Amino acid sequence: MPVADYKIYCQMLDRARSGHFAYPAINVTSITTANAVLKGLAESKSDGIIQVSTGGGAFASGSSLKDMALGAISIAEHVHRAAERYPVYVALHTDHCQADKLDKLVIPLVEETERRRASGRPNLFNSHMFDGSALPLKKNLDIAVKLLERFQRNELILEIEAGVVGGEEDGVKGEAGAKLYTTPEDTLEVARQLNAVKGARYLLAATFGNVHGVYKPGHVKLKPSILKDCQDAVVKEYGETARFYLVFHGGSGSELQDIREAIDYSVVKMNIDTDTQYAFTRAIADHMLKNYNGVLKVDGEMGDKKTYDPRTYLSLAESAMADRVKQAVSDLRSVGTTMFKK
């Protein structure tokens, strides 16, 4: 049963935090990209997280529908079936759902899980992110607490964000001048409110200058020590059991030393999208440039069916993306850490 259930997912997160490693959380938009993640994780002997964003779900449903929940369900159903053939555990997660899209993605997916549970079937997804970072902290947490109460009843884990990740992903922008650094005061309030939901599990995306996308060296000023300051403040106020399970957003293009330092401060999940997108597309571009006369019917010729068959270049893209997943696993110290036993 390589799609983790709630108990196994919790154990995965516990082992990552205590063992000072983290899981790559890779955004996917199709069966092919989901397969690439499964391939990369299996070849690394690492468990991991497959996630779908609002835009990814809309794309997966087809350009005529653009139904983000339907697309996310379709990908998740495939992963549940395909993952049974791989010797690692994966968790399914949804990424960056802002308040105005909760009713289009997260709530329909929670309802789908509730229906499945009522009929004795396993949860479809393991966790969902509510991105309330654009809201005042009070409103952000008011929504988060209500979600967490519902999630707790359904063995789902909630991810929230305090602070703003810069850059842009799927139309979600961190505006210039936004609060790019989470403060200890922010995290004390997060702990006070969310820890009051007894028995619930949640992840916190605290921001420390991280951005979506890839920038030239020197343009991104990460300060992982901010995570330590936030953890220290919460542990001092509420005790060791309040220590957060943290998420590193905007992981693509980050320096290895910053990644490793963040992991040492209890980052257990790092989101990767830009770098895997590039790896996927780079392989396709390489194929097209090397086989120009084969993929096009130039000057009345018929081209080469084997080169313009989408299966040819998408297989190359899948392998290239899987290799980038393997690099991420290595960066996050997760190689060989799978909990799966045959």
Q: What is the set of domains in the chain, with CATH numbers?
A: 6-331 (3.20.20.70)
| 231-260 mean pLDDT | 92
Alpha helices in 154-212 (DSSP H): 184-194
The answer to whether residue 151 scores a pLDDT higher than 80 is: yes
Residue of 95, 229, 273, 331 marked active site? 95
In angstroms, the CA 21 to CA 269 distance is 9
Instruction: Could you list the beta-strand ranges (E) of the chain.
Output: 23-27, 48-53, 90-98, 127-131, 157-162, 167-169, 172-174, 202-206, 246-248, 267-272
**DSSP letters along 281-333, please?**
HHHHHHHHHHTHHHHS-GGG----HHHHSHHHHHHHHHHHHHHHHHHHHHHTT
pLDDT for res 103 = 98
pTM (2 d.p.): 0.92
Token couple for 206: 């605290």
Radius of gyration of the chain (CA): 20
Mean pLDDT of 29-45: 98
Residue 265 or residue 303, greater confidence: 265
Confidence check: pLDDT of 163 > 90: no
Given a cut of 80, whether residue 216 has pLDDT beyond it is no
| Whether 203 contacts 247, CB under 8 Å | yes
Banded pLDDT at 18 (limits 50, 70, 90): very high
Q: Catalytic: 95?
A: yes
Q: What is the pLDDT of residues 39-86, one digit of tens each?
A: 999 999 999 999 999 999 999 999 999 999 999 999 999 999 999 999
Residue scoring higher pLDDT (83 or 253): 83
Q: Quote the pLDDT of residue 181.
A: 84
- Which backbone phi and psi does 46 adopt, to 5 degrees? -125, 140
Beta bridge partners of 204: 160, 246
Give the dihedral of Cα atoms 269, 322, 28, 289; nearest 10 deg.
140
